[in-house]
Amino acid sequence: AEPLPVMPEVLLVFRAGKMFMEGTRVVPDARKGLVRIARGEEGLVHFQWIDRTQNSLEDDQIVFPDEAIFEKVPQASGRVYILKFNTDNRKFFFWMQEPSSDADARLCNSVNYYINRPIDLADEEEPESSAPLDNSAMSEDH
């Protein structure tokens, strides 16, 4: 694990542990953790898992708009969530560690809002180098 890098813009932070696959089961990692969603210096959104006791960054996934979804795992008992990429088979499981479950659904919605927000290219000097716009995504009212 590496020391915690400073991110120019932190969008959302909440307490959550991570989980790992053991055969077909998901097993919780007992450590206290933080999920941090932040925009890096390159303007991209990072979904990070931080070990709260060590204050160290363990996982850092760059998420592009509409590339992943964060949702509750219906088959699991308890407060288990998954970050699922639709571009490949990456899956990351988390268990909520916030004291109250009242905000879980709101946190889940916030995660999806931030990871699927279009990348802000306002500071971009060469707009030609950006990806072409997907018109189907623009027709939906968000």
Third-level CATH fold of 9-116: PH-domain like (2.30.29)
What does the domain layout of the chain look like in residue ranges?
Answer: 9-116
What pLDDT, on a 0 to 100 scale, did the predictor assign at position 46? 97
Give the range among 91-95, 99-103, 128-132 with minimum mean pLDDT. 128-132
Q: Is pLDDT above 80 for 50?
A: yes
Tally Cβ neighbours within 10 Å of residue 41. 10
Can you say whether the dihedral through the CA atoms of 74, 31, 6, 87 is positive or negative?
A: negative
Report which DSSP code applies to 132: P
Q: Is pLDDT above 50 for 124?
A: no
Q: What is the largest CA-CA distance in the chain?
A: 48
- pLDDT band for position 73 (50/70/90)? very high
Chain-wide mean pLDDT for the chain? 86
Give the predicted TM-score (pTM) of the model.
0.81
CA–CA gap between residue 115 and residue 67 (Å, rounded): 8
